[in-house]
Each structure stands twice: as C-alpha cells, then as structure tokens.
C-alpha cells in the first residue's frame, strides 16, 4: 500500500499520548486533515502547522507551548474554529478562561468559535454582564451617597422606637 494513498483522504488524526515533540511530517495530510488531536505530548514548537489549511479542530492541551511567537503560527490556519490549548505553559499565565480568551486568544484568532470546549461568545457575553454589573453598582452607590440620612430613618433600633406624637418619650421594649 502506498503511504500517500492511505493518507490522502484522512480527515481526523488522533496522536494523543505519543511523546511527540514536533509537528513535522503532516504535509502528507495537509490537504484533507480537518481535525488534529495531539494532546498530552511534548510539542513546544508549532512549525509546520500552517500547512494544514483545512484544519478546523485542533486539540493540543497538555503540551509545552510557552511562546506567543509559536501560538501565532495558528493564524496561518484559516479555517480553525475549535481550539483546546489548556495546560500549556502559555495558557497557564492567565487567571481565568475569560482572560485567556479575551486578552490572549481572540485578538490573535478572532474567528475562533470554541476555546477549551466553550463558545468564545460566552467570554464576550460575560464581559457585557460585568459591565452591566459595574453600571448597576455605580448607580446604586450614587443613590446611597446622595441621601445618608434616609438610611438612619429606615433602620430604627430594634429595642427603641421614637413616636412622632411623643418625640420626647422613648418606649423601651426590653
């Protein structure tokens, strides 16, 4: 069997947990490969990934990618829409998935639909929700700051009640 013939129709390639260090040799499947599963390996450099012009899905969590220069090679994959990249040193610099998505990944890969198994729109939506929460808190604080005396009127002591008719008298409920 000819190796070229075998690989020419390959759409999904699963190479997870194989101690792979480089992505060389993918040229044979560059035209047809749509999904590459390469998690739990030792990949540090992404040289050659750009040849996979039809790649839509890339699962490469738990590898050794630590540089933005290497990550930026993913820009050469025009159809990439689903990326799992967690537990690479580069991703671990971020405190949350949202920060990783909004600050790190989406500025570089704006057409990505899913990151770490979650729709990227969730990161954008949660940003909008955070902005709404900030507006709500600002408005709430503005109302509270305007009238400090109203809180005193609305919060009487549970043991004493002042009666308007008898303002000089106090009734003790103890």
CB 71 within 8 A of CB 46: yes
Quick check: is 115 in a domain?
yes
Q: Per the domain annotation, does 160 fall within a domain?
A: no
Q: Which pLDDT tens digit goes with each residue over 30-83?
A: 999 999 999 999 999 999 999 999 999 999 999 999 999 999 999 999 999 999
Q: Is residue 62 part of a domain?
A: yes
Percent with pLDDT over 90 in the chain: 66
Query: Residue 166 falls within a domain, yes or no?
Result: no
Asked if residue 50 belongs to a domain, the reply is yes
Higher-pLDDT residue of 1, 29: 29
**Can you give the residue range of the structural domain that contains 12?**
3-119
Residue 89 lies in a domain: yes
Spell out where the chain has E strands.
Answer: 12-14, 35-37, 57-59, 82-84, 114-115, 118-119, 160-162, 170-172
SS3 37: strand
- Residue 75, domain member (yes or no): yes
SS3 label, residue 78: coil
Tell me whether residue 124 is in a domain. Answer: no
Number of domains into which the chain is organized: 1
CATH number of the domain that residue 15 is part of: 3.80.10.10
């Amino acid at each position: 069997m000819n190796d070229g013939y075998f690989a020419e129709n390959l759409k999904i390639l699963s190479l997870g947990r194989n101690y792979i260090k480089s992505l060389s040799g993918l040229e044979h499947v560059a035209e047809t490969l749509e999904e590459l599963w390469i998690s739990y390996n030792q990949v540090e450099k992404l040289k050659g990934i750009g040849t996979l012009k039809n790649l839509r899905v890339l699962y490469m969590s738990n590898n050794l990618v630590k540089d933005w220069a290497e990550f930026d090679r993913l820009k050469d994959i025009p159809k990439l829409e689903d990326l799992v990249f967690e537990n690479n040193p580069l991703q671990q610099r971020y405190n949350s998935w949202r920060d990783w998505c909004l600050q790190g990944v989406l500025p570089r890969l704006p057409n990505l639909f899913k990151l770490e198994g979650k729709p990227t729109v969730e990161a954008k939506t949660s940003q909008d929700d955070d902005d709404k929460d900030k507006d709500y808190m600002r408005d709430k604080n503005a109302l509270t700051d305007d009238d400090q005396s109203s809180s005193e009127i609305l919060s009487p002591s549970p043991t004493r009640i002042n009666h308007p008719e008898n303002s000089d008298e106090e009734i003790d409920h103890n």
